[in-house]
Amino acid sequence: MLDIKTLEGWLWEAACKIRGEIDAPKYKDYILPLIFLKRLSDVYDDEVGKLAEAYEDRKEAEAFIEADHTLVWFYIPENSHWEKIRNQSSKLGEFLTDAVRAIAKENPKLQGVIDVIDFNATAAGQRIISDEKLKLLVDTLNKHRLGLLNVEPDILGRAYEYLLRKFAEGSGQSAGEFYTPREVAILMANVLDPKEGEEVYDPCLGSGGLLIKSYLRFKEKYLGSTKIKPINFFGQEYLHSTYAMAKMNAFIHQMQAEIALGDTMNRPAFTDAQSRLRKFNIVVANPMWNQDFPQATYEADTYNRFGLGIPPSSSADWGWIQHMFASLNDKGRMAVILDTGSVSRGSGNKGSNRERDIRKKFVEKDLIEAVILVPENLFYNTTAPGVIIVINKEKKHKDKILLINASKLFKKGRPKNYLPDECVDKISSLYLKWKEEEGISKVIEKEEVVKNDYNLSPSRYVAQNGEDETLPLDEAVVLVKEAEEEMAKADEKLRNVLGQLGFE
């Protein structure tokens, strides 16, 4: 069996074969389908071999599989086998493209997943990736088998996630579209703690990390147990290439996940027969922070998601929270990570503020269970810290909120800081045991939040030495945009009044 370090080193060596030939954010699109294809082909060969042992004849086993594709995980057509690809001496890009399309044609579940890239594509009359580079990549991937007896699904899945992290390091701002840092995903899975028979949903899935960490948390918790009801996973992703990554990621982990392609905020995929939002036990997400949806997105909503208030165009943070909340069943719980301004913007300001007003309603309804401030510089598309907001329809501690200031619980890394395993365990334990610890966590009464004008920032209640209270630039930009939006509305009202008075 391949160990994780060998696997990570080998796959990264393969990835490096085409680094530099294409842009960093793009080269993952070529490598990940090839790794997936090799896994499919090697597993298929193992399955054929196992059947051949049973029938004592390989040709007979192949004939049975040809007649009934359900006998194998995925059916691999003859010209799509890894051996055929490895021995291809010319027009490799064209051959690979035909191979993945043939696999997708024979396996509907893989359509729009493995065949998402054209290995023979050109730009400005030049091949995006040459046959020579593809040959180097294939030869490097050929060093080890990825069959059932060579690597366990969880180990291969970890290596796949390792590659996603490495790709995120080279992708700059675009990394936020597909990758949540591993330790943040583990922390959120620990906090939500999935139980048998539950359904878990991520409305802005990315490459699937939050669902996968929930799956692994569940497996670890019930390891060795028998007659455990499985948990089911659901997710929606807007970008096609990222959707394909999420599907491959789920297949590699051998987890059952229903993943939809589309715009969750405008066209949510998971609804019932009456076109109402489907309800889940757990909802988890890392949406794009401070997304700018037009007001029509909220005003034209037909799913009754925004009854607690319409967010400003400058930030969809509380729009995402309300979509997630509307997707919870009567006993559901959710965790979302957003920028720190989502829990403090508008508090202390005179007059109305839409984000503060929505936050106020969540507090008054006693829905917010905990807020966890995580360290800065964890994420690949921003250096800003984030907050995990935990909402629970079955709060055990009524009219109380647990605030955890974990801003100092990190280690310096390159290029990003990270939460060591012991810090993830510590934060999880503070939440699960509902525990106060000097300088890190504090339980506050709802009245204290009201007194502070619905500011839920952990740093306001759990002070730490040397904490920087300077407003981050991205939060300041949101506040300026929101002020400009409110000013434009006030100007419009003034013009209408002046018009009615005949002063136009």
**Calpha distance 403→391 (Å, rounded):** 13
Residue 29 in tokens: 């699109």
Q: How far is CA 197 from CA 90, 200, 210, 391, 426, in A?
A: 51, 10, 18, 20, 27
Does residue 356 have a pLDDT over 80?
yes
Region 4-151: CATH code:
1.20.1260.30
For the stretch 161-196, pLDDT in tens is 888 888 888 766 555 667 899 999 999 999 999 999
Q: Which residues contact 359 (CB under 8 A, 6 or more apart)?
A: 318, 343, 346, 347, 454, 456
**Calpha distance 168→186 (Å, rounded):** 17
φ and ψ at residue 234, rounded to 5 degrees = -140, 145
Contact 176, 164 (CB under 8 A): no
Q: pTM of the full predicted structure? A: 0.88
For residue 315, what pLDDT is reported? 93
Does residue 501 have a pLDDT over 60?
yes
Query: Is residue 468 very low, low, confident or very high in pLDDT (cuts 50, 70, 90)?
Result: very low
State CA 54 to chain mean position distance. Answer: 42
Query: Is residue 486 very low, low, confident or very high in pLDDT (cuts 50, 70, 90)?
Result: low
**Calpha distance 190→345 (Å, rounded):** 28
For residue 483, what pLDDT is reported? 61
**Calpha distance 446→432 (Å, rounded):** 20
Query: Is residue 477 very low, low, confident or very high in pLDDT (cuts 50, 70, 90)?
Result: low
Question: Pick the residue with more confidence: 396 or 481?
Answer: 396
For the stretch 452-463, pLDDT in tens is 999 999 999 998
Q: What percent of the chain has pLDDT over 70?
A: 91
For the stretch 203-231, pLDDT in tens is 999 999 999 999 999 999 988 787 889 99
The continuous run of DSSP H or E covering 441 comes out as strand 441-445
For the stretch 269-325, pLDDT in tens is 999 989 999 999 999 999 999 999 999 999 999 999 999 999 999 899 999 999 999
Q: Per-residue b/e over 380-408, b at no fewer than 16 CB within 10 Å?
A: bbbebbbbbbbbbbebeeeebbbbbbbbe
State the DSSP string of 75-121: ---GGGSHHHHHT--S-HHHHHHHHHHHHHHH-GGGTTTTTS--TT-
Same fold, 4-151 and 172-476: no
CATH superfamily, region 172-476: Vaccinia Virus protein VP39 (3.40.50.150)
Average pLDDT, the chain: 90
Rounded-to-5 percentages of helix, strand, coil across the chain = 45, 15, 40
For the segment 142-147, the average pLDDT, to the nearest whole number, is 95
Among the listed residues 99, 109, 108, the one whose alpha carbon sits nearest the alpha carbon of residue 76 = 99
Query: Is residue 482 very low, low, confident or very high in pLDDT (cuts 50, 70, 90)?
Result: low
Where are the domains positioned within the chain? 4-151, 172-476
Among the listed residues 389, 399, 384, 383, the one whose alpha carbon sits nearest the alpha carbon of residue 458 = 389
